[in-house]
């Protein structure tokens, strides 16, 4: 079974889905979680995103769905309320929570989607590929428009992560991240936004396709 089909079969047979942010979440963690949240909601799933161990940064408050993140960690929720836990951008159980020993109940199906080479593959199903620079890139390549309705782009040669999320028609939130010397705030400013060297964003009043073209034009200029 290919990876996209494996993912889709698990989603089809689940209804109440839990997502989380890893400790000290970076743009890949929160961007992947919120993109998956919107996509699953669009097909009628009940979805909860928890903030995890760390406090939420206002840096990401422009992202659609930021306000729905539940301010609880793994040990402050009841796993009886869920039948699937999708664990993204987390290479080990410690990246789910460092507040205690994690044990999954027998009824809860677990799925890891990650790009870290050190991933311990602790879930029932583990979709891990270290050739990707980001979990968001993995989602886009393997799941694509079948489930991830939001657009997640990663410019691999530059190690820049770009997330475009359209919550409403002609309203697109763009977030950038970088782990090297590239100053992504320059891209955000060119689009009317701002931020920091390694994490920045902007809001575009246009269609998702137009936003994608604007972003690509700025990057390649």
The enclosing domain of 180 has a CATH number of 3.10.310.30
Q: Domain with 62 in it: what CATH number?
A: 3.90.1640.10
User: Considering only CA atoms, which of 186, 185, 188, 183 is closest in space to residue 204?
Assistant: 188
Q: Are residues 23 and 129 in the same domain?
A: yes
CA distance linking residue 165 with residue 34, whole number of Å: 9
CA distance linking residue 116 with residue 41, whole number of Å: 27
Q: Under a CB-based contact definition with an 8 Å cutoff, are residues 75 and 101 in contact? A: no
Q: Are residues 128 and 58 in the same domain?
A: yes
Q: Considering only residues 83 and 35, tell me which one the structure prediction assigns the higher pLDDT.
A: 83
Q: Does residue 175 sit in helix, strand or coil?
A: strand
Q: Considering only residues 37 and 18, tell me which one the structure prediction assigns the higher pLDDT.
A: 18
Strand partners, 46: 16
3-state secondary structure 83-142: CEEEEECCCCHHHCCCCCCCCCCCCCEEEEEECCCCCCCCCCEEEECCCCCCHHHHHHHH
- Boundary-marking domain end, from 137, 161, 188: 137
User: Is residue 144 in some structural domain?
Assistant: no
- Boundary-marking domain end, from 104, 137, 170: 137
Q: Are residues 205 and 121 in the same domain?
A: no
User: Is residue 145 in some structural domain?
Assistant: no
What total of structural domains would you count in the chain?
2
Q: Which domain holds residue 19?
A: 3-137
User: Quick one: pLDDT at residue 181?
Assistant: 72
Q: Are residues 120 and 165 in the same domain?
A: no
Q: Are residues 41 and 129 in the same domain?
A: yes
Whole-number average pLDDT of the chain: 84
Q: Are residues 105 and 33 in the same domain?
A: yes
Model pTM score: 0.69
- The pLDDT tens digits for 164-220 are 777 678 888 888 877 667 888 999 999 999 888 878 889 999 988 888 889 888 877
Q: Are residues 158 and 129 in the same domain?
A: no
Q: Are residues 24 and 93 in the same domain?
A: yes
- Boundary-marking domain end, from 137, 160, 193: 137
User: Is residue 184 in some structural domain?
Assistant: yes
Q: Are residues 171 and 119 in the same domain?
A: no
User: Is residue 159 in some structural domain?
Assistant: yes
Q: Are residues 53 and 156 in the same domain?
A: no
Residue 148, pLDDT > 60, answer no
Residue 162, pLDDT > 80, answer no
User: Quick one: pLDDT at residue 159?
Assistant: 59
User: Quick one: pLDDT at residue 96?
Assistant: 96
Q: Are residues 130 and 156 in the same domain?
A: no
User: Quick one: pLDDT at residue 3?
Assistant: 64
| Rounded average pLDDT over 131-151 | 63
User: Is residue 143 in some structural domain?
Assistant: no
User: Is residue 142 in some structural domain?
Assistant: no
Q: Are residues 58 and 162 in the same domain?
A: no
User: Is residue 48 in some structural domain?
Assistant: yes
């Amino acid at each position: 079974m290919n990876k996209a089909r494996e993912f889709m079969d698990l989603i089809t047979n689940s209804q109440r889905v839990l997502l989380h942010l890893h400790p000290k979440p970076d743009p890949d963690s929160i961007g992947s979680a919120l993109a998956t949240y919107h996509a699953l909601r669009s097909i009628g799933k009940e979805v909860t995103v928890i903030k995890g161990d760390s406090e939420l940064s206002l840096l990401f408050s422009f992202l659609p769905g930021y306000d729905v993140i539940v301010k609880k960690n793994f040990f402050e929720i009841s796993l009886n309320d869920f039948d699937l836990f999708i664990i993204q951008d987390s290479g080990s159980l410690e990246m789910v929570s460092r507040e205690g020993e994690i044990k999954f109940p027998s009824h809860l199906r677990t799925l890891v989607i990650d790009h870290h080479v050190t991933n311990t593959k602790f879930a029932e199903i583990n979709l891990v590929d270290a050739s990707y620079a980001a979990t968001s890139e993995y989602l886009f390549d393997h799941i694509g428009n079948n489930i991830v309705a939001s657009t997640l782009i990663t410019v691999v040669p530059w190690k820049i992560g770009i997330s475009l999320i359209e919550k409403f028609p002609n309203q697109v939130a763009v977030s950038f991240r970088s782990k090297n010397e590239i100053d992504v705030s320059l891209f955000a400013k060119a689009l009317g936004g701002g931020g920091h060297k390694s994490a920045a964003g902007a809001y575009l009043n246009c269609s998702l396709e137009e936003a994608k073209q604007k972003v690509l034009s700025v990057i390649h200029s």
